[in-house]
Chains A and B, each alone.
Chain A
Amino acid sequence: MVMDLKEKTKTESIYVPDIATITEIKDLTPTEKQFKIKIDDPVKRKNFNFLPGQFVELTVFGIGEAPFSIPSSPNNKDYFELCVRSIGSVSAALHRMKAGDKVGIKGPLGKGYFPYEKMQGNNVVIVAGGLGMAPVRSILLQILEDRKSYKDVTLIYGCVDPQSMLYKDEIKKLQESKELDIKLTVDRPDNSWKGAVGVCTNLIPQLKYQPQDTYIIVCGPPVMYKFVIIELEEKKYKPENIFLSLERRMECGVGKCNHCHIGNKLVCVDGPVFSLWEIKNLKEAI
């Protein structure tokens, strides 16, 4: 569960990562790779129990560290996955690594997660934009592994173009399985594209679920939130049932460096997942 603060003993600095091994690398798109990661120490691996929406601080030794949310299912106890776009110094270095290479892992981090316990017995709508698919995949997989505990589930996923769509094969399989309703949209379609065109905000008005038994999960680029929230509020979905995973610059991941603060909240410690109710009046959160 959430990292127990008391577990950190005197000798164990909050800045020292655990050693982990990349066991498998898969190309997801031309710019994103999936890394399967296993913590070396068997005791630490066993204690690495994360909640959907939590993240890790990953160190590429000699290069730097950066936060990445965990897209794999919390039910996998032996390993976890990361979905990484090569875009900064750490992620580019990670893309140059191969299976068997070592990285440093600090985590799981963040008190704010997608509250799957509350969502059971309700409808769930997941709205993901671009790379925002990665953080919500953990809750999506967790729901699918316990599908009968939830009512209807809808995934709204928007991308720039069909090539940049993450987890394409999985989504295709899910579409066939009818376990959930999947609405896909792209900004720039190609000839073979059969889904909607435009931003994912456009698909929200079609939702048929009633506010009293519906939970919403939102994750995407910073610009997306404002417009998605306008649409969700238009449909009268309750702010305490809307959960957003926020992105900010993080240097330490453990609430000390202060870079990710938004007013009195720290995204790394209090988040990264917040309910809309918590941050609605928090200036500059959205």
Chain B
Amino acid sequence: MLYKILDKKDFKDFVNNLISAYEVTAPKKISQALHDFFPIKSYEEMDLSYKRTTLPPAKKMLFPSNEALASYTVGNNIEVKSLNESKEQLLFGVGAWDINGMNFLDRIFSTDFIDENYMEKRKKLKVIGIDAEPSDANFASSVGSEFAKEGFDLFLSDIGDKYFVRIGTAAGAEIASKFGDFLDASDVDYSAYDRQMDLYKNKFNVNVNLDNFFENFEIVYGKKDLWEKLAKSCFSCGSCNLVCPTCFCFNVRDDIKIDLAGGIKSRQWDSCMISNYGLVAGGHNFRPDEANRLKQRYRCKLKTFVEKFGQYSCVGCGRCVEACLAKINIYEDINAVKEEVSI
């Protein structure tokens, strides 16, 4: 890790220089209330004051909702060709929790079998993070993802009239030297950064206490009433999964091309909240009802990967809370689990 300073008066030039060299994807205002990450052509298109974007940017770029994996000819002579589209890209202005979400996906797609479709895109992606504004439902500081330790090339923190820049990779150092006027950080800058980090942590309105959740969850696991109560209003629409930066379940399907001479194998995002998620041939459903599915979503987010990777797979971005039509709220449910145990 290297530490540098970028004066705010040089910031615009830096962004425009990046745009001239890379396809830059950055937050854009797309309506009165909504922001989303899109490729930009000039500095002015970008709006870094966003509080949240509907879709997590890294997932959108690295793990598209529909992706062709292979194409083949059919008939007497079958030939299969793997499909893998990737290009050099730069993601600008992404918040720490979304970088941590991407780090989680990196781990998923590179563990055991290596998913080249994801990894090729990931290797070609440069990431420049920023201390983004947390939305009202954001509880990243409660799950330890308000700070990104890795996964970025550069990370910018606003310390008044300049940015304190953490350089995370060699590629990041190259970007800094090539495209911007980066200076060495002074002792004053370091202490300004320290103060800023303390202030930043206080920007998160929601604080969730996950102490003992790991054990408590085990205790309430079999309490059918609790889960039925929590999942009562669930429509099984899957919105929570679609907007989640760490949800990665997908279906694999084969389709025949319209000329009947070949086919495509592709994958689509799936959702563990949808009724046929656990359905197998023959009609048995391993996840038959809303209560069971909600419970297993929480298990996946807050327990499974603590056991597997030593981390929550929830980064606390709050998107699922804001996307849920039935107002199901993960941190209220965490509290409900706590209450149930204390009774």
> A5 and B254 in contact (CB under 8 A), knowing A13-B117, A61-B74, A263-B307?
no
Q: Across the interface, name the chain B residue whose C-beta is closest to A63.
A: B254
B263–A61 touching, CB < 8 Å: yes
Chain A residues with Cβ under 8 A from B72's Cβ? 61, 104
Is there contact, CB below 8 Å, between B112 and A255? yes
Say yes or no for B277: interface residue by CB 8 A criterion: yes
A247-B299 Cα distance, complex, nearest whole Å: 20
The listed residue (A14, A61, A91, A258) touching B114 by CB distance below 8 A is: A14
Interface of chain A, main secondary structure: loop
Chain B 116-140 against A: per-residue CB contact (8 Å), 1 yes, 0 no?
A: 1100000000000000000000000
**Which B residues are CB-close (under 8 A) to A85?**
282
**Which listed residue (B70, B255, B256, B308) contacts A15, Cβ 8 A?**
B70
- A261 CB, min distance to chain B CBs, angstroms: 7
User: Which A residues are CB-close (under 8 A) to B252?
Assistant: 15, 64-65, 251-252, 257
Q: Scoring A residues 245 to 269 as 1 if CB is less than 8 Å from chain B, else 0, what string do you get?
A: 0011101101111110101100001
Give the shortest distance, in Å, between A273 (CB) and chain B (any CB): 17
What's the Cα separation between A259 and B299 when bound, in Å?
A: 14
> Which positions 254-271 of chain B face chain A at CB distance < 8 Å?
254-256, 263, 265, 267, 270
Known interface pairs A13-B82, A264-B307; A254-B113 also in contact (CB < 8 Å):
yes
Residues of B within 8 A of A11 (CB): 82
Interface contact tally, CB-CB below 8 A: 131
The prevalent SS among residues of B at the interface is mixed
Query: How far does the alpha carbon of A108 sit from the alpha carbon of B299 in the complex, in Å?
Result: 30
In the complex, whether B284 has a CB less than 8 A from a CB of chain A is yes
User: What 0/1 pattern do residues 47 to 82 of A give for CB contact below 8 A with B?
Assistant: 000000000000111111110000000000000000
Q: Which residues of B contact A261 (CB under 8 A)?
A: 300, 304
A16 touches B70 (CB 8 A): yes
- Residues B221 and A283 in contact, CB atoms below 8 Å apart: yes
Q: Which residue of B lies closest to A66 (CB)?
A: B281
CA distance A63 to B254 in the complex (A): 5
Residue B108 lies at the interface, judged by CB distance under 8 Å to chain A: yes
Size range of the chain B interface in the assembly = 35 or more
- Which residue of chain B lies nearest to A88 when distances are taken between CB atoms in the complex? B281
- Which chain A residue shows the least CB distance to B280? A249
Partner of B286, one of A12, A104, A249: A249
Q: Is there a chain A Cβ closer than 8 Å to B69's Cβ?
A: yes
Contact of A257 among B76, B254, B270 (CB under 8 A): B270
Q: How far is the CB of A165 from chain B (nearest CB, A)?
A: 18
Q: Which of B218, B278, B305 contacts A249 (CB 8 A)?
A: B278
B251: contacting residue among A14, A251, A263, A284, CB under 8 A:
A251
B30 CB-CB contact with A under 8 Å: no
Interface flag for B80 (CB, 8 Å) = yes
Which chain A residue shows the least CB distance to B300? A261
The answer to the question of A10 belonging to the interface, with a C-beta cut-off of 8 Å to chain B, is: yes
Q: Say whether A17 faces chain B, with CB atoms less than 8 Å apart.
A: yes
Instruction: Please provide the chain B residues from 240 to 296 with a CB less than 8 Å away from any CB of chain A in the complex.
Output: 248-256, 263, 265, 267, 270, 272, 277-282, 284, 286, 296
Chain A residues within an 8 Å CB radius of B304 = 261, 263-264
Residues of B within 8 A of A (CB): 69-70, 72, 74, 76, 78, 80-82, 84, 108-109, 111-117, 218, 221, 248-256, 263, 265, 267, 270, 272, 277-282, 284, 286, 296, 299-300, 303-305, 307-308
Q: 5 smallest A-B Cβ distances: which pairs?
A: A88-B281, A13-B82, A62-B256, A15-B69, A264-B307
